[in-house]
Amino acid sequence: MFAFVKAFIAGFLAVLSFHQGAVWLLDFQGVIDATPWNMTPVPPFGVPAVISAALFGGLWGMLLWLLIRNALAAGYYVGAIILGAVFPSLVALTLVSWLKNGQDVEALVEGLTLPRIGVALAVNGAWGLGLAVFMRVMHPPR
């Protein structure tokens, strides 16, 4: 049970460091136009956008931990990067976009561009790596 609390904390911290670090790097290089560590309040509770993202990162961290916790050696990190890139990106680019656009399927399809998909995979893959690193520090293998 305590491992899942650690996984939530690791996912939260991975957003604040690895995920937002990747956003900063991509913005700095001119690949995207984004504000890393964005403190703009977001609905429904008015918490800063980065904290909202970190809370979701914590929840995703608990799920990803279920999938990677028994992986060995490099497979642990590679699995975390791949699964961290794919699952949150898939949900963000489809379900979340669909809900934010008022369930407009045309807007969803128009938003699925290769650059947007690539950025999502890169940023969320960085988050997955961060989760794996923080979990190895807080919850080393036995």
What is the pLDDT at residue 103? Answer: 61
What is the pLDDT at residue 27? Answer: 97
DSSP state letter for 81: H
Domain-by-domain residue ranges, the chain?
2-138
Tokens standing for residue 122? 């890169």
**What are the 10-residue block averages of pLDDT along the chain, 142 residues in total?**
92 98 97 95 92 96 94 92 96 79 70 89 97 93 78
What is the pLDDT at residue 101? Answer: 67
Tokens standing for residue 7? 């996984």
Identify which of 67, 57, 41 has the alpha carbon closest to the alpha carbon of residue 124. Answer: 57
Identify which of 58, 39, 34, 36 has the alpha carbon closest to the alpha carbon of residue 49. Answer: 39
What is the pLDDT at residue 139? Answer: 85
What is the pLDDT at residue 28? Answer: 97
pTM comes to: 0.90
